[in-house]
Amino acid sequence: MDDLIADFVAECREMLEALGGEIVAWEARPDDRARLDSIFRFVHTVKGNCGFFEFPRLEALSHAAEDALADVRAGRRHPDGALVSAVLAVIDRIGEMVAAIEAGEDMPTGDDNHLIDALAPGAEGTAAPAAAAAEAATRASSAPRTIRLSVELLDRVMSTVSDMVLARNELARRLRESTSDVPVDGAFERLSSIIAEMRDAITRTRMQRIENLFVGLPRMVRDLSAELGKQVLVDIEGGDVELDREMIEMIRDPLTHIIRNAVDHGIEKPAERLKVGKREIGVLAVSARQSGNQILIDIQDDGRGIDGKRLVEKAIASGVVGKDDAAQLSPRDQLALIFEAGLSTAKEVTAISGRGVGMDVVRSNVERIGGIVEVDSKPGEGTRMTLRVPLTLTIIPALTVSIAGQHFAIPRSAIEEIVRANGESVTLEHVGGAGVATIRGRRVPEVSLASVLGLESNVSEQDRTLVVLRPAGGDVYALSVDRIHDHEELVVKPAAPAVMATGLYAGTTLADDGSPILLFDPAGIAAVGGVKLEVQERTARIAEGPASTISKATPVLLFRGLDGGRRALRLAVVDRIEEVPASAVNETAGQLRVQLGESILPLAGASASEIGEGKVRLFRLNDGLHEIGYAFAEVIDFATIEHDVIHSERPGEISGVSLVNNEPAELVDAHWLFANHTAAAAPKKEELVCLIPDWDPWMQNMLRPLVEAAGYRVVDDAENEKADVVIASLGEELPEDASHKTIWLRTEPEAASKKDFSIYRYDRAGLLMALKSAGAGRGK
């Protein structure tokens, strides 16, 4: 919140400074519409922000000034000297208050009513703010912890750094050619790394995740809807899109305005919603995504929509369009009228979004950064506003690939996976001349980059690599490229129109060696490559059986273990399949381990004697933190578990048996694998032990993962180990033992009596708390 207030103060100060000249000019010529508009926007912005921060006095002042100015703008009132003075007095008072907020002091005392009264038509006398202003000036301003830099300066620094990188590369070439001198090389290496660091830092200064912009929205909407007696659910998506810092600042206000409007005018009151058959809670979806060389921010509500006809009537009434022109407007143009100054379909003026002033400000702000605002609305169904802002100077993590010796970049956000065309579970087929790749049973259209670009590739089709792409809002397809190179973070700049006209590229960028690289637009390639895009993914799965209900089924990988057993492993935990020479598998520190590249993973699914000569194939399993290998003989198929699972009696590598493709298969318990093998890989010094009765299936199946996740090693009665915590059902007989704590669980949500310290067995938070406090007691 403090940050937001600091932003607000900084914004107000900047506006006040800029306004200084405007106010004087307006005083001289009260008829000057442009000056009036900028003063109006200032008080409007202040008003908007005050509602959010709860500065009631500021809000009252700015609202009063806004009302008076709105009358002037609408031509209902003539700006006379008294009004000008009154407005100026209000702006001065706002300035004082902002200074007080900045210094963290209390608001200057005094009554604002006379200032507000002075705004009323025909009011006599003017306020004298001079004394107060002088007092404000003498106040010591608190030391600033941040400085504001102009983006031009940052740009200049950035381009200098880029030049520096190029100069370094040139120097590197020269150094390689000349006889090498170790001290010189060392110094050069250091210079190199400093330059790289600097480039990174300066690039980062400009970038921000759009999350920073979104983070305040739920609160704002909550407050707004509470104030208006509405119920609104905010759904935010795409917070990880990175955007130029300046861009984020520039779209902050427009976005706030649009959301205010959506909540205030778009979404109806609960009773009204129920009447028209909608859920009483309105949904406001805010999403950001990158599309080509633009960032799209959608703000969609399911409210009453915009009445285009009424907009037209209003526009005619206020003289924005002529009657004849109005008749010619398409529905889209009608909606676009919302962006004209002084138009609003709201019947009443409210404190929230006012009188349609927001939207002209929104449009001018967005257009200033080269963006576009679009509106689409269906009466009764809702409104969608789309902000399109350019991606200029946006950093994109990208994968560089090459085709016919030329390098290109693909935005990493669109990449689903990368597979080799001649890999294990990949087949390439041609259907009527079109390429179709089958990747682990999923059929995806294949686009050959060489043919899309019209380049000759000397890499045969089978030796290429397939990059599986999912463009924003599009369908999956596989792009075949000659070679994959590197992951890089690229600063993308828009390409010239003649290049963009191809539809294939999102921009250009410079590689580290200074040569230009083209960045692909995955959706564009799909379009040019003839991939039929659909809104929903409809890649066909190879049919498993006539009645496979995908929604309920769990996808598994069916395989044969080294001992010949038919087993299944949940697909989600399998990262990829590796093949290593048998020599990479060793028994070390009491555990079979496999070396994969530079890492050593615990190996499950095999004993030392089962690892023969030659190659060992293994699944690489990942739980997000640890990786383990699981050796297998062959992959049978992809399948889904549709039948009931018969759970094994004791926890172990196999959690149960089920029918998979009409034959029984053992289900490998990945949880158990990780619990055992990673614990063995990195044993904790002080492991807490929790005793859970082994005869209780609920505890073993439901509770055990939770306890283990809380950092406990779980044992059962049979194991003769000292437990730190014992979990038992209420009513169970347990021998008294002071060496451990006991957590009692009950099956009813309500406690039987006040003395009952038991925890309801589905009270997750309560359980975790109890486990945590038990563990903390032990740690001492």
Partner 1 sequence: MNELLLVVTIAGERVALPAAAVESVVELESLIPVPRAAPHVAGLSALRSRVLTVIDCMRSLELGDTDCSDGIREAAVVELDGHHYALIVDLVEDVVEAGSDPAPVRAAMGTGWERVSHGMVETEQGPLLLVDVAALVAGVEAKAAA
Distances 76 to 73, 88, 115, 124 between C-alpha atoms, Å: 8, 20, 21, 19
Q: How far is the CB of 507 from partner 1 (least distance, A)?
A: 9
Q: Which two structure tokens, joined as six digits, stand for 677?
A: 């093998």
User: Considering the rule CB under 8 A, would residue 499 count as an interface residue with partner 1?
Assistant: yes
Q: Find the binder of partner 1 among 13, 442, 485, 493 (CB under 8 A).
A: 493
Under the criterion CB under 8 A, does residue 518 sit at the interface with partner 1?
Answer: yes
R_g of the chain computed on alpha carbons: 33
Question: Which listed range, 47-55, 183-191, 459-467, 507-515, lies at the site for partner 1 (CB under 8 A)?
Answer: 507-515
Kindly give, in sequence order, each residue whose CB lies less than 8 Å from that of residue 391, ignoring residues fewer than 6 positions away: 290, 292, 293, 294, 295, 492, 494, 506, 507
Strands 566-570 and 663-668: parallel
Alpha carbons 537 and 470: distance in angstroms, whole number: 10
Name the DSSP class of 216. Answer: T
CA quadruple 601, 606, 608, 613: dihedral positive or negative?
A: negative
Among 413, 508, 655, 742, binds partner 1 (CB under 8 A): 508
* Only segment of 260-268, 290-298, 425-433, 498-506 that touches partner 1 (CB under 8 A): 498-506
Q: How far is the CB of 198 from partner 1 (least distance, A)?
A: 14
Report how far residue 98's alpha carbon sits from residue 90's, in angstroms, rounded to the nearest whole number. Answer: 12
**By the rule CB under 8 A, 495 interacts with partner 1:** yes
Q: Find the distance separating the first CA and the last CA of the chain, reported in whole Å.
A: 38
Closest separation in Å from C-beta 390 to partner 1: 11
Map tokens 């199946």 to a residue.
Answer: 701
Pick from 11, 114, 123, 162 the residue near partner 1 by CB under 8 A: 162
88 makes contact with partner 1 (CB under 8 A): no
CA dihedral (86, 91, 95, 96) in degrees, to 10, reads 20
Beta bridge partners of 434: 431
Question: One-letter amino acid identity for 568?
Answer: A
Residues binding partner 1: what is the number (CB under 8 A)? Answer: 30
Q: Which of 113, 142, 159, 747 binds partner 1 (CB under 8 A)?
A: 159
When asked if residue 452 is in the footprint of partner 1 (CB under 8 A), the reply is yes
357 touches 233 (CB < 8 A)? no
Which of residues 234, 375, 504, 703 is near partner 1 by CB under 8 A?
A: 504
Is residue 366 within the footprint of partner 1 (CB under 8 A)? no
Site string for partner 1, 163-202 (x = CB under 8 A): x-xx------------------------------------
Give the residues across from 578 on adjacent strands: 618
- Closest distance to partner 1 from the beta carbon of 207 (Å): 18
User: 353 vs 394, which CB is nearer to partner 1?
Assistant: 394
Of the listed pieces 230-238, 257-265, 511-519, 536-544, which binds partner 1 according to CB under 8 A? 511-519
Looking at beta carbons only, is 147 or 496 nearer to partner 1?
496
Distance CA 656, CA 666 (A): 6
Does 517 interact with partner 1 (rule: CB under 8 A)? yes
> Crossing angle of helices 2-28/33-53, nearest 10°?
160
Using the minimum distance from each CB to partner 1, give the nearer residue, 518 or 668.
Answer: 518
Site membership for partner 1, residue 519 (CB under 8 A): no
Q: Does 372 bind partner 1 (CB under 8 A)?
A: no
Query: Considering the complex, what minimum distance in angstroms separates the CB of residue 290 from partner 1?
Result: 20
Binding track over 526-545 against partner 1, x by CB under 8 A:
--x-----------------
Judged by CB under 8 A, the chain residues 384 through 443 that form the site for partner 1 are 406
When the beta carbons of 391 and 495 are compared against partner 1, the nearer one is: 495
Minimal distance, residue 455 CB to partner 1, in Å? 6
**HEC string of 336-373?**
HHHHCCCCCCCCCCCCCCCCCHHHHHHHHHHHHCCCEE
Structural contact between residues 385 and 451, judged by C-beta atoms closer than 8 angstroms: no
Q: Count the neighbouring beta carbons within 10 Å of the beta carbon of residue 473.
A: 11
Which residues of this chain interact with partner 1, rule CB under 8 A?
159, 162-163, 165-166, 406, 452-455, 493-499, 501-502, 504-505, 508-510, 514-518, 528
